[in-house]
Structure 1
Amino acid sequence: MADHVNLVKLCVGVDSVEDLAARIALRGGRTTSHVTRMWPKQEDALLAGGSLYWVIKGVIQARQRIVSLEEYHGTDGVRRCAIMLDAELIRTTNVQRRPFQGWRYLKPEDAPADLPKGRENESELPADLAQTLADIGLL
């Protein structure tokens, strides 16, 4: 059994892995962050090797390693959690995921595998074909 846990989150407003990679690149290849309202209760397990898996257009397609969790206060003064992420975007095998709000924990044994070296730059399947294959369990 693994000693860490992951998070899975919808990547709202992003159309593709390439789109997400471009947004990360705009930050200069540094650690990036994602601010969320809730602080994960399993903080120690997340920091023991966890990643944030991104759901893009209904499919988990990539992940980023979680580096740290930091306190963040917005202009409204409310305490939030900034999930600090390694700038490296790691492509994963595609796994369909139904819509949900916020983030969810993802056990390592349920997480999609990373794409093998050399396949991470393959072009994506057309969205409708990828969705159809995911619907029947082939993706």
Structure 2
Amino acid sequence: MPLHMTKIAFGAASVESLRDWLESRDEPQLTTRYLPKRHEEMVGGSLYWIHEHVLVGRSPIRRFSQRDDGRWTIALEPVLVRVEPRARRAHQGWRYLDEKDAPPDLAEGSLAGEPLPARLVSELAKLGLA
């Protein structure tokens, strides 16, 4: 089972703007100062995006490579696969996400528009309904 990671979709005004950014590039890339210790387990896994305190989608991870300045590049597939919305606290950088904790993908067309507001997803989770 591949290992995944979570990251805040910093600067994305909406889930659609995140999708547009990903799909407008042949190979979207993120940079990080440090190579994740478990990076080999994450190739073939996904980067799960957090937008407004909710996991909203994932992008498959292609590879990790080092840049000339010593930083690391995370190369992604140019796609945003929508997932079942789950409340998630904000954090800096990235965090590991085990397969058993990753939300399932949504069926095509099962969610139109923006996800539920983070506050509502959080309340539903507290009640055991999300």
TM-score by length of 2: 0.88
Match of 1:104 in 2: 95
Residue ranges of structure 1 left out of the alignment (5+ in a row)? none
Letter in 2 for 1:91: R
Number of the residue aligned with 1:16:
14
What's the CA shift for 1:132? 1.7
Unpaired segments of 5 or more residues in structure 2? Answer: none
* In structure 2, C-alpha distance between the alignment counterparts of 1:33 and 1:95, rounded to whole Å: 24
Partner residue of 1:123?
113
Residue correspondence of structure 1 range 31-46 to structure 2 within 5 A: 31-46=27-42
Instruction: Report the alpha carbon displacement of residue 104 of structure 1 after superposing the two structures with TM.
Output: 0.5
- Say if 2:57 is the partner of 1:62: yes
| AA at the equivalent of 1:46 | M
How many residue pairs get matched?
127
Report percent identity of matched pairs.
33
Look up the match of 2:75: 84
Work out the CA distance in 1 between the residues paired with 2:100 and 2:15. 23
